[in-house]
Amino acid sequence: MGARIVVAGASMGGLRAAEQLRAAGWTGAVTVVGAEPHMPYNRPPLSKEVLAGKAPFASLAFTPKASVADVDWRLGTGVTSARLADRVVVLEDGTELPFDGLVVATGMRPRRLRCPGPLAGRHTVRTIADAQGLRDELTRPGVRVVVVGAGFIGCEVAATAVALGAAEVTVVDPLPLPMVGPLGELLATALLRRHEERGVRFALGAGVAGFEGEDRVTGVVLDDGTVLAADVVVESVGSVANTEWLDGNGLDLSDGVLTDEQLRVGGLPYVVAVGDVARFPNARYDGVARRVEHWSIPTDTARHAAKALVAHLTGVDAGLAPFAPLPTFWSDQHEFRLQSFGAPGLGKGDVRVLDGDPGADVLVGYHRDGSLVGVVALGGQAAVGAAARYRSELLKQPALTAQGIPT
Amino acid sequence: MKVVVDMNKCQDHGQCVFAAPDVFRMDDDGRLAYVPDPDDALRAEVEEAADVCPLQAIRIED
């Protein structure tokens, strides 16, 4: 049998990995294994356009490149274990797949709240099935919605629920401001005001103690004893890495899969990781390994990891520089957009308004040791365009070294 | 090479402009404008533009 690369995970990271393996010159077999029954699809609209009913679920499907027409797709059966030293993965249905090279692309799943109460009526948003179920409930007349977690997905779902005509939408979070982790206080305060003006209520600085209801949820109990009446609850409280299948191989799986600067796993040149499950050092910044859940990461990691893997398997020295992507994210909420370039999270101690003002369109710069490390725009198209003008500046910067940024 | 952008999907994120500035640009109103029949030499950058489109609105037809 000829050489084969197995890609574990059939979402965006798995698709991009397959395409980039071909682009890097791999002519051997490629098998992509995925737990969901669907071909790879685009997830961001699940909390926005698709949840709002403005775009059909069918519009989410990626169009694979012609170069992956001969890829063997094993869908609806996830990987359950791996013996990396033997170069074998085992699928849910018991199939053992030998491989020459392995791409870890199994992604994340939503974290669930473990506090007591019924499960019915409580939703997460990660898959098509999740969004379909949530949409059915959000479109019931007079529905009262409680969103637990004021991050990207929580804020987007809250905005969508208001637009769908929900009677009440309340966002609960233990932190004092929405999205304060990625954005810092200045923009998070501006974001809070915008949401409140558009009818979203907030219970901030509050944790969830439990859920009321018999067969299904009727209320959310906060840790100060307050009860928020709820017909629908959305849990957007972060995610958990799908790495259990890699247990027993001596890997660092403490938060996703630790990789080196070429996205290789566990010192094995024939195993790489891509997408949000990969915890990689970014040579552009401080070299500290982090997982990044932004949408741009599957594409960026797949391009680099495929080159590294194919070079090893074909015995060619790729001469690859360390992986150093420029992170970017966006979020659409109500009629405004957040657009980020660079790493604002590294510069939250020195935040400056570069243009506009927080009450309207605003562009904010994040600095570390006096240097700009990230920009975020909040507002309409003009603000987003202004952010884009800083992108080349952020790209031109020499990669910051470990001594430049204390860890 | 023929490039088609589904303007019903496009939300003017502009990611394609960074990936393939010879083919895509934002006009003065912040709306996307593009060359529908770019030279085949630009295929790699147009493919990257299609990859990074948040709405997956860019299609390459040979």
Residue numbers in A near B46 (CB within 8 A): none
Mutate to test the interface with A, among B4, B56, B59 (most CBs of A within 10 A): B56
Mutate to test the interface with A, among B1, B6, B10, B51 (most CBs of A within 10 A): B51
Chain B residue at shortest CA distance from A44: B54
Distance from B25 to chain A by nearest Cα, in Å? 11
In this complex, which of A16, A299, A391 lies closest to B18 when CB atoms are compared? A391
Is A112-237 in the same CATH topology as A4-109+240-314?
yes
Q: Does A330 touch chain B (CB under 8 A)?
A: yes
Residue B28 banded pLDDT, cuts 50, 70, 90: confident
Least Cα distance to B17 among B8, B27, B7 occurs for: B27
CA-based angle A291:A210:A223, to the nearest 5?
Answer: 85
pLDDT at A386 over 90: no
Question: A62 and B56 in contact (C-beta within 8 Å)?
Answer: yes
Distance from A260 to chain B by nearest Cα, in Å? 24
Chain B residue at shortest CA distance from A382: B30
What are the pLDDT digits (tens) for A208-243?
Answer: 999 999 999 999 999 999 999 999 999 999 999 999
Structural domains in chain B, sorted by start: 2-61 (3.30.70.20)
Distance from B58 to chain A by nearest Cα, in Å? 10
pLDDT of residue A355: 94
**Mean pLDDT on A116-144:** 96
pLDDT at A400 over 70: no
Least Cα distance to A241 among A110, A152, A79 occurs for: A110
pLDDT of residue A52: 95
User: What is the torsion angle, in degrees rounded to the nearest 10, for the CA atoms of residue A292, residue A298, residue A301 and residue A302?
Assistant: 160
CA-based angle A181:A223:A163, to the nearest 5?
Answer: 60
Residue A395 banded pLDDT, cuts 50, 70, 90: confident
- A171 vs A285, which has greater pLDDT? A171
pLDDT at A405 over 70: no
What are the pLDDT digits (tens) for A235-288?
Answer: 999 999 999 999 999 999 999 999 999 999 999 999 999 999 999 999 998 889
In CATH terms, is domain A4-109+240-314 a member of 1.10.3720.10? no
What are the pLDDT digits (tens) for A178-190?
Answer: 999 999 999 999 9
pLDDT of residue A392: 84
Mutate to test the interface with A, among B1, B12, B13 (most CBs of A within 10 A): B13
Name the class of domain A112-237.
alpha beta
A206 Rama sector, left if φ>0, alpha if ψ -120 to 50, beta otherwise = beta
Average pLDDT, chain A: 94
pLDDT of residue A149: 98
Residue numbers in A near B13 (CB within 8 A): 330, 339, 384
Rounded Cα gap, residues A125 and A163, in angstroms: 17
Least Cα distance to A245 among A40, A73, A34 occurs for: A34
pLDDT of residue A402: 40
**Mean pLDDT on A303-319:** 94
pLDDT of residue A173: 98
Spell out the domain ranges in chain A: 4-109+240-314, 112-237, 335-396
pLDDT of residue A399: 54
ipTM, two decimals: 0.91
In this complex, which of B9, B26, B52 lies closest to A385 when CB atoms are compared? B26
Chain A residue at shortest CA distance from B9: A55
**Which residues, 6+ apart, have CB-to-CB distance to A79 below 8 Å?**
A8, A33, A89, A90, A91, A92, A106, A245
pLDDT of residue A287: 86
pLDDT of residue A398: 59
Rounded Cα gap, residues A343 and A182, in angstroms: 9
Q: Does B6 touch chain A (CB under 8 A)?
A: no
pLDDT at A109 over 70: yes
Rounded Cα gap, residues A153 and A237, in angstroms: 9
pLDDT of residue A389: 85
Residue numbers in B near A45 (CB within 8 A): 55
Q: Does B9 touch chain A (CB under 8 A)?
A: yes
